[in-house]
Structure 1
């Protein structure tokens, strides 16, 4: 065989030349005007000052909030608009009977490029009334760097990342560098850091099997302990957790095809 022989060039997709390229499709999507609105549907007098806002991110965080004992009341919504129409509710705003604790569980993933809009819409809506912010976040053992060699990464396992304005809680272990948070969690923490708002990002270790992320009782128990350390005496109910998983996730791989809820 003569290795000097030239090979045929790669096929050119002439038949697809009339189809928009990925870059053109992305540009079209980016031209859409996306806005986010946080709306309270009750009398503003019901929203006191010194509020604690608890965000439940898609995954263990939102399941935990939907599994709380005492069933918080719905007092508002967080809605996403495209071109000032096509409204889509991304989260409900819930309130405990003490009227000092609000929960915002997100029932779907938030695109990183839109995270800032959600953060500003919600936190600016409660400007001057916030005592502290808590984010119910999660992380996996893959890629996690621990300061303790051979650390037993078994749920319940909790870490916290907090803003400089937050009092240090001795019972909570810091999320070690160089580990990083991202997306909506990073946006919320960054906003709170800039505006000197005490904020705690509680990260529970989320286990996986065959690459599928799981939600178990032990994973949610870590939130119970973390919130207790922050002075919030709330608990999730295992029966409600199972009902939430059955109704919202059906025990199957979710829409993103990378999580399995049991």
Structure 2
């Protein structure tokens, strides 16, 4: 990938996203991600001339911090699940659509009832770098890209952040941004400085948007612990003022409580398997 003008306006920061799938590798077909829509959406796609869902805003949350924030501030209490993207499963595997079965390795695709053209994808489960390209292609193949805005939220440990400052001198958590050249609005955080890079699924989504002239912005939260907490999720709150997310955000009086509940569930899950 050329490091210079690839991200348009981000050139001044010389920041880059790296798609791990750019390397030659052969992936076992049984491990390729599988996208499954619920029956009603499948029928809707089959009846559509474009075989795509109408979508004006696509939110992709990758990792516990991003998923917890999105659940608390963007999704209603009982969101509509349109489908899942299952990673590392064959097309014959069963899936419970509840992420409770042992076989579930899924990213859920939600739709806002208040605005059916807003899709929110939650990826709590890990998507391996070698699966990221196929995952991204399958999602965007079923979404209309005209006039589409994409926002990606992800996180990384602050120890991965390259800076002239010592890690102990950094005030964590904090966020940094990358954007495609088609995204003309100003991000709600500083750009990610060189020589930092983004990889895996967030990079694959942003690269797809850059190549296909889709307006997209990626926010990375740098956190100091692998265990999710309220502060590490709330670091994304400036995104609520970003274009076009600010147009769909509604008052969430119970958001703080939902964040606390997410932390409790996350910690219980860790304790269960340790």
**Deviation by residue 1:74-107 (Cα, 9 ceiling, x = unmatched):** 2322234744312455122112212232111012
> Is the counterpart of residue 92 in structure 1 residue 108 in structure 2?
yes
Q: Matched residues in 1 for 2:147 and 2:160: separation?
A: 34
Q: How many residues align?
A: 223
Q: Which residue of 2 aligns with 1:105?
A: 122
**Contact in 2 for aligned 1:49/1:129 (Cα 8 Å):** no
Q: Which of 194, 199, 221 pairs up with 1:182?
A: 199
- For the pair shown, the structure with the greater C-alpha radius of gyration is 1
Mean Cα deviation higher: 54-63 or 71-80:
71-80
Which runs of no fewer than 5 residues in structure 1 stay unpaired?
A: 1-28, 258-262
> Structure 1 residues 81, 243: CA separation in 2 closer, same or farther (over 3 Å shift)?
same
> Is the counterpart of residue 77 in structure 1 residue 84 in structure 2?
yes
Q: Matched residues in 2 for 1:143 and 1:149: separation?
A: 12
> Structure 1 residues 143, 33: CA separation in 2 closer, same or farther (over 3 Å shift)?
closer
TM-score, normalised relative to structure 2: 0.69
CA RMSD across the alignment: 3.1
Q: Matched residues in 2 for 1:81 and 1:170: separation?
A: 34
> Is the counterpart of residue 240 in structure 1 residue 245 in structure 2?
no
Helix, strand or coil at the partner of 2:221: strand
> Structure 1 residues 248, 129: CA separation in 2 closer, same or farther (over 3 Å shift)?
farther
> Is the counterpart of residue 215 in structure 1 residue 228 in structure 2?
yes
Which runs of no fewer than 5 residues in structure 2 stay unpaired?
A: 1-26, 46-51, 96-103
Q: Matched residues in 1 for 2:167 and 2:270: separation?
A: 32
Mean Cα deviation higher: 177-186 or 148-157:
148-157
**Contact in 2 for aligned 1:192/1:199 (Cα 8 Å):** yes
Q: How far did 1:183 drift?
A: 0.9
> Structure 1 residues 81, 187: CA separation in 2 closer, same or farther (over 3 Å shift)?
same
Give runs of aligned pairs for residues 2-41 of structure 1, distance below 5 A.
30=28, 32=30, 34-39=32-37, 41=39
Q: Matched residues in 1 for 2:145 and 2:245: separation?
A: 21
Q: Which of 155, 158, 168 pairs up with 1:141?
A: 158
Mean Cα deviation higher: 63-72 or 194-203:
63-72
> Structure 1 residues 133, 252: CA separation in 2 closer, same or farther (over 3 Å shift)?
same
Q: How far did 1:115 drift?
A: 0.9
> Structure 1 residues 120, 170: CA separation in 2 closer, same or farther (over 3 Å shift)?
closer
**Deviation by residue 1:112-158 (Cα, 9 ceiling, x = unmatched):** 11111110111111033561111111122214124789995324521
Q: Matched residues in 2 for 1:106 and 1:170: separation?
A: 22
